[in-house]
Amino acid sequence: MKNQWLTFITGRVLVKAEGKGIERLINRLAQSGLIMWKVKKQKSGDVLFFIALPDLPKFRNAARKADCSISFIRGEGLPFILKRTQRNSGFLVGIVLFFLIAFMLSNVTWGIEIKGADPETEHKIRKELTQLGIRVGTFHMLNDKPDVIQQKLTDRIDNITWVGVELKGTTFHFNVVQKNEPKKPELKSPSNIVAKKKAVIADLFVEKGKPLVKINQYVEKGQVLVSGVIGSDDKPKLVSATGEVWGITWYNTKVEFPLKSHFQVYSGEEIRRHYIGAGKISIPFWGFKRINFKQYEIETIDHDLFFLGWKLPIKYSERTIRENEKMPRSLTKDEAMAAAIELARRDVENNIPADARVDREYILQQEVDNGKVKLSINFQVIENIAEERPIIQGD
């Protein structure tokens, strides 16, 4: 018997032989090398058997000399399936086009809803969304992920505190939290302003209360700077002291910077690959260029796919392979010191209040050891050292 997969691909024909010369026909076919299988003799004397479709011309030559009647019952296999498909090609093409169009339309943005924003802010958001490529008629897979859109909108629009971004089906939903107007000052209990750390007074602005310190005066942590007790000694009045007291404070940091190092740069060469995947399985369908980069990094962006509003269990991934290379860098001692000071300054600026500023720095110690510049630096910072402390009866 022939291999069923092979005969399915090449095609097979079920033949029916009737008459007195059936045995001579079968013998003649066997002698000619034509293979038959599933040969069955029926009660009526007729014989059914299969032959391969490519052997049909050879079979016809042998059957002409046989004293029997031959009929072809049916054809099986891929060639016959394709032939039947061709007859119904219009219907199949219509089905494929329907699902393809439905799939494409399900991944197009058809609506943008913005809630929680006033008309002016909504106009700003829609303008920024247009610049980001998010508008009616664009494909979702060409847009950034919702969390990236959220970050960009928050950074670019000043009067919003937070914006939630959600893609439901074919509509983007934006829930906006705008910055509120300054709240009315709350009624506070009587309090003093004390120093929250030791410092030298640089400046002070007292709105309410009695100042107890002067500029250039050294103060300790917890020392009263502005008293909430005002008025005369015989008629004192308790208030909530308010104001700002700016002091000179100090931060010490130790930092080191190598004289010789390497840094990575992009060459500008990149390869883009596109995948369809489910779970941890990804199948590439575009971008098969071989990677010839010695060093590279990969950035992957995943996009969800939808069909008629339903999120599909598959996703489209865009993978970018960027070539990079290590470049050597050699610095002089002065260059390394300048880089180390800048690094230390950024570290201090990240650890002081937002309204504070670095006034100057003093290098306490410097040395070159094991190819590195090592520094100990004192940074002089101007910051608001005022801290409210309630006045307790009996103070």
16-28 pLDDT tens trace: 888 887 888 888 8
Residue 228 and residue 240: Cα distance in Å, rounded?
6
- β-partners of residue 237 are 230
> What does the pLDDT read at residue 17?
85
Domain boundaries in the chain?
Answer: 4-82, 111-178, 191-247, 253-260+330-384, 263-328
Q: Is the confidence at residue 250, as pLDDT, over 60? A: yes
Cα dihedral 30/33/39/43 (nearest 10)? -30
- 182, pLDDT greater than 70: no
The class level of CATH for 253-260+330-384 reads: alpha beta
List all residues 6 or more positions away from 304 whose beta carbon is below 8 Å from its beta carbon. 140, 167, 311, 312, 315
Task: Pull the structure tokens for residue 139.
Answer: 């494909």
Query: Three-class SS of residue 72?
Result: strand
Q: How far apart are CA 90 and CA 194, in angstroms?
A: 86
In CATH, what number does 4-82 get?
Answer: 3.30.70.120
pLDDT confidence of residue 106 = 76
Q: How many CA atoms lie within 13 A of 59 on its CB side?
A: 21
Binned at pLDDT 50, 70 and 90, residue 393 comes out as low
Confidence of residue 382 (pLDDT cuts 50, 70, 90): very high
DSSP letter for each residue of 260-299: EEEEEEEEEEEEEEEEEEETTEEEEEE-------SSEEEE
> Average pLDDT, stretch 156-184?
81
Partners of 276 in beta bridges: 283, 316
Per-residue pLDDT band for 194 (boundaries 50, 70, 90) equals very high
pLDDT in tens, 284-303: 888 888 888 888 999 888 88
pLDDT at 161 over 90: no
Residue 3 has a pLDDT of 66
Residue whose tokens read 């939630």: 164
- The single-letter code of the amino acid at 127 is K
User: Are 111-178 and 253-260+330-384 equal in CATH topology?
Assistant: no
Percent of the chain with pLDDT over 90: 30
Rg for the chain (alpha carbons), in Å? 42
pLDDT at 128 over 60: yes
Average pLDDT (191-219) is 94
What is the maximum alpha-carbon separation in the chain? 143
For the entire predicted model, the pTM comes to 0.48
**Coil, helix or strand at residue 135:** coil
Q: What is the mean pLDDT of residues 338-360?
A: 92
The closest of 250, 256, 251 to 366, measured between CA atoms, is 256
Q: Identify the burial level of 310 via C-beta atoms within 10 angstroms of its C-beta, where 0-12 means exposed, 13-18 middle and 19 or more buried.
A: exposed
| pLDDT for 184 beyond 70 | no
How sure is the predictor about 181, in pLDDT bands with cuts at 50, 70 and 90? low
What letter represents residue 11's amino acid?
G
Q: Say what angle helices 56-64 and 22-31 make with each other, to 10 degrees.
A: 130
pLDDT for 395: 53
Q: What is the mean pLDDT of residues 64-70?
A: 77
Query: Which of 199-213, 268-282, 339-353 is predicted with the least confidence, judged by mean pLDDT?
Result: 268-282
pLDDT of residue 2: 53
Contact 247, 385 (CB under 8 A): yes
Superfamily of 111-178 according to CATH: membrane protein fhac (3.10.20.310)
